[in-house]
Amino acid sequence: MPELPEVEVVRAGLAPAVTGATILGVDVFDPRALTRHVGDPASFEAAVSGRRIVAAARRGKFLWLPLADEDEDEGLAEGEAIVAHLGMSGQLLLRSPGAAAERHERIRLHLAHPVHGELDVVFADQRTFGSLAVDRLVATLDGAPGGWGTHAAATPSQVAHIARDPLDPAFQDARFRARLSRTSSAIKRVLLDQTVVSGIGNIYADESLWAARIHPETPASSLPTRAVNRLLEEVRIVLERALAEGGTSFDAQYVNVNGQAGYFAHSLRAYGRTGEPCPRCGRPIVRVSFTNRSSHYCAHCQRRR
């Protein structure tokens, strides 16, 4: 499931290939892949064709490719971008022009790069929770760059409500602590709330809470400052380790832009290890239903307060 490390791997793979490239044309094979786009496939194609990609940016699980006309530079707080969200199973793949269609291919962008020549960016998505869109850029409220991979203090309007991720230099720890202190919701639910902290999904929420020895249903406001700080530290460690290992792949659902899987699944301590011994105390990891999904934790190490 693409969370921050997986999306960042995709962004980092796209950036050198698409930055500076001009979009020659678009093929939309499934309009459901444009559910975030206001307008029909023809309007999407018209909005991007002939324009130049000036960066590959990311905040949390959202990616965007700021667009410029031939005589514009990046850095504008206005303008438009192609926004991408991979949802549950979305992939962005780099392919040679004329390469065979991918399974579940929904959209293909045809690009011409001044150095690399022509290439295609394929958006494939099995479960169709992901989508592309053209969206206007809006200035960030704090004046800092919109996210990783861009110097422009702007994000697509669809991303404006998304909080910064814990690896973002502009992430404010104090603001995070204050937000937690105001809600009695379960800490795992808060970690999954992208308006509080972005980039964390079910896998890394379970892993971070295990590392910080916090029960997933602990009311956020009951956590002492020391525990919140430890949790933030563990979140960052888990995300950085996963990023270094290329992300988490359980099957072919998550791959980088070249179709290769990441290795972090081998390093998971709690997620998906139901019944296996806790790496810390040896007692079995348990799985419980949690808001239409699963939580994995050690009932001994992560006792409920």
CA-to-CA distance for 188 and 290, rounded, in angstroms? 9
The nearest distance, CB 188 to DNA, in angstroms, is 10
Q: What's the Cα-to-Cα distance from 168 to each of 58, 236, 240, 295, rounded to whole Å?
A: 10, 10, 12, 26
Annotated catalytic sites, by residue?
2-3, 61, 293
Among 155, 194, 248, 249, binds DNA (CB under 7 A): 194
Q: What are phi and psi of 197, to 5 degrees?
A: -150, 135
The nearest distance, CB 25 to DNA, in angstroms, is 25
67-72 contacts, C-beta under 8 A, 24 or more apart? 67/23, 67/134, 70/22
Which CB, 51 or 131, lies closer to DNA?
Answer: 131
Listed ranges 72-80, 120-128, 232-240, 257-265: which one lies at the site for DNA (CB under 7 A): 120-128
Supply angle C-alpha 176, 229, 302, rounded to 5: 110
Among 175, 189, 213, 230, binds DNA (CB under 7 A): 189
By C-alpha distance, which of 172, 251, 274 is closest to 6?
251
The nearest distance, CB 70 to DNA, in angstroms, is 31
Q: Please tell me whether residue 188 binds DNA under the rule CB under 7 A.
A: no
Tokens at residue 128, please?
Answer: 């169709």
Listed ranges 54-62, 91-99, 241-249, 278-286: which one lies at the site for DNA (CB under 7 A): 54-62
Q: Please tell me whether residue 149 binds DNA under the rule CB under 7 A.
A: no
Who's near 137: CB < 8 A, 6+ residues apart? 66, 76, 77, 78, 79, 80, 81, 146, 152, 154, 155, 156, 157
Among 79, 201, 216, 247, binds DNA (CB under 7 A): 201
Q: What's the Cα-to-Cα distance from 271 to each of 194, 230, 233, 235, 282, rounded to whole Å?
A: 20, 19, 19, 14, 15
Which CB, 151 or 172, lies closer to DNA?
Answer: 172
Q: Which of residues 127-146 bind DNA (CB under 7 A)?
A: 127-129
Which CB, 230 or 287, lies closer to DNA?
Answer: 287
Tokens at residue 114, please?
Answer: 């001044």
Site string for DNA, 152-171 (x = CB under 7 A): ------x-------------
Q: Which of residues 237-256 bind DNA (CB under 7 A)?
A: 251
Q: What's the Cα-to-Cα distance from 270 to each of 67, 208, 210, 212, 247, rounded to whole Å?
A: 41, 9, 7, 12, 16
Strands 57-59 and 52-53 come out as unpaired
Among 24, 77, 88, 261, binds DNA (CB under 7 A): 88
Which CB, 23 or 63, lies closer to DNA?
Answer: 63
The nearest distance, CB 88 to DNA, in angstroms, is 4
Q: Please tell me whether residue 258 binds DNA under the rule CB under 7 A.
A: no
- 80 three-class SS: strand
Q: What are phi and psi of 169, to 5 degrees?
A: -60, -25
The nearest distance, CB 201 to DNA, in angstroms, is 3
Among 13, 66, 87, 149, binds DNA (CB under 7 A): 87
Residue with tokens 């998906």: 272
Tokens at residue 186, please?
Answer: 């379960």
Q: Please tell me whether residue 207 binds DNA under the rule CB under 7 A.
A: no
Kindly list the residues in this chain that would bind DNA in the complex (CB under 7 A).
Answer: 1-3, 32, 60-62, 85, 87-88, 104, 126-129, 158, 182-186, 189, 192, 194, 201-203, 251, 271, 287, 291-294
